[in-house]
Structure 1
Amino acid sequence: MGQTLNYLKESSSQTAGPYVHIGLAPGAAGFDIYDQELGWDIAGPNAKGERIRIEGQVFDGTGSPIKDVLLEAWQANADGNYAHPEGGGEVEAGFRGWGRVITDFDTGEWAFDTVKPGAAMGRSGRVMAPHINLWIVARGINIGLNTRLYFDDEVEANAKDPVINLIEWENRRKTLIAKRTEREGQVIYRFDIRVQGENETVFFEI
């Protein structure tokens, strides 16, 4: 008599719930766990280049801000080098090139301070325009979303960027461009992310 095997059914997909902040950014969620949290210091005090601040919100398909988002950012330094063995060159002492922030639970605003990255060499051997890579996760998002932030004052470099040029429609390319302003002497780049609906941000499969 053959043996009957009982198989467990696949469970439902799980989104990133409220505990994602406790595990990945406990200090911002009000939990004093680490002396120094991993990922908050993106550039470090020794990084050369222009000091900038990135600000934005993440909006859902109805145009409402999502208020429990966690974002990770990684970037090259001002010379276009990443802080890893295959990054193309040396980086300054303390330069991480990687950071993690969460949105304000009341307003949905997020922000981080860093230095403006330089043009970096891509895997294809072509130079990429200055940019910051972003990964977004939140309640209601089953799989983290990957996108890029480019700078509106790098028009010539953006026009030659191999990734931007993969996007056929000009109005879709604009969703990747952060707008430069200044406030109280500080350079600000505004970058709002829309996960659905009109003017949805371009996301990439990585």
Structure 2
Amino acid sequence: MTSSLPSTPSQTVGPYLHIGLTWYDGPYAVPLGTPGGCWIRGRVLDGQGEVIDDAMVEIWQADPDGHFAHPDDGREVRPEFRGFARSDTRGGEYSVYTVVPGAVDDIQAPHIDVSVFARGLFHRVVTRIYFPEHTETHRTDPVLAALPQQRRNTLIAERSDDGYTFDVRLQGDGETVFFDV
């Protein structure tokens, strides 16, 4: 007689991300007071529009000159620029302090790459934040151009008093566009 063992259940990427994946300078892609520095704040929302308060948001971006703080880029970045930040949503929203990036290789409009980790997700979801003041380059950005016109607005941040607001909707009406990377 052959016996088989049951499958190991799948694990989701949340909900306890804030326990081991936060650190002191996590929400700062640049130090406070950096010229041009701004906050990007937002909520992560589930399919019913409810706030998810145990998610984590990571950003990775180019500096204002369009250069990445990574050895593969090969170009010098500004000394204060880290280009990576991470924030949990325990208070109902995430907050990261950064600078608006420059265009990447003069092809892609200024944007920030975003990963979201949350309960119920088997893998992170990946999206982008574009900025409302760069509408001219939005028309020629290959990623935005590949999307249906009615979905592009889910990737555009809104101006706020001290920076920008960008909510991530995981499902439902107004679902944020996510990329298969």
Do both proteins adopt the same fold according to a TM-score greater than 0.5, normalized to the shorter chain?
yes
* Match in the other structure for 1:101: 87
Contact persistence 1:46–1:95 (CA under 8 A): no
Per the TM alignment, residue 86 of structure 1 is displaced from its structure 2 partner at its CA by 2.2
Contact persistence 1:46–1:94 (CA under 8 A): no
* Match in the other structure for 1:177: 156
* Match in the other structure for 1:153: 133
The equivalences for 1:22-171 within 5 A come to 22-25=19-22, 36=24, 39-44=26-31, 50-87=36-73, 89-105=75-91, 108-121=92-105, 127-167=107-147, 169-171=148-150
* Match in the other structure for 1:30: none
Secondary structure in 1 aligned to 2:152? helix
Contact persistence 2:87–2:94 (CA under 8 A): yes
> For 1:46 and 1:65, how far apart are their aligned partners in 2?
30
TM-score, normalising length: structure 1: 0.80
Per the TM alignment, residue 138 of structure 1 is displaced from its structure 2 partner at its CA by 1.0
How many residue pairs end up in the alignment? 181
> For 2:33 and 2:2, how far apart are their aligned partners in 1?
61
For CA contacts below 8 A with separation 6 or more, give which structure has more relative contact order: 2
* Match in the other structure for 2:17: 20
In structure 1, runs of 5+ residues without a counterpart are 28-35
* Match in the other structure for 2:176: 201
> For 1:85 and 1:8, how far apart are their aligned partners in 2?
46
Choose 1 or 2 for highest CA Rg: 1
Per the TM alignment, residue 58 of structure 1 is displaced from its structure 2 partner at its CA by 1.0
Letter in 2 for 1:189: Y
> For 2:103 and 2:66, how far apart are their aligned partners in 1?
5
Report percent identity of matched pairs: 43
Q: Cα RMSD between the aligned structures?
A: 2.1
Contact persistence 1:74–1:97 (CA under 8 A): yes
> For 1:18 and 1:45, how far apart are their aligned partners in 2?
29
> For 2:157 and 2:58, how far apart are their aligned partners in 1?
17
Contact persistence 1:164–1:173 (CA under 8 A): yes
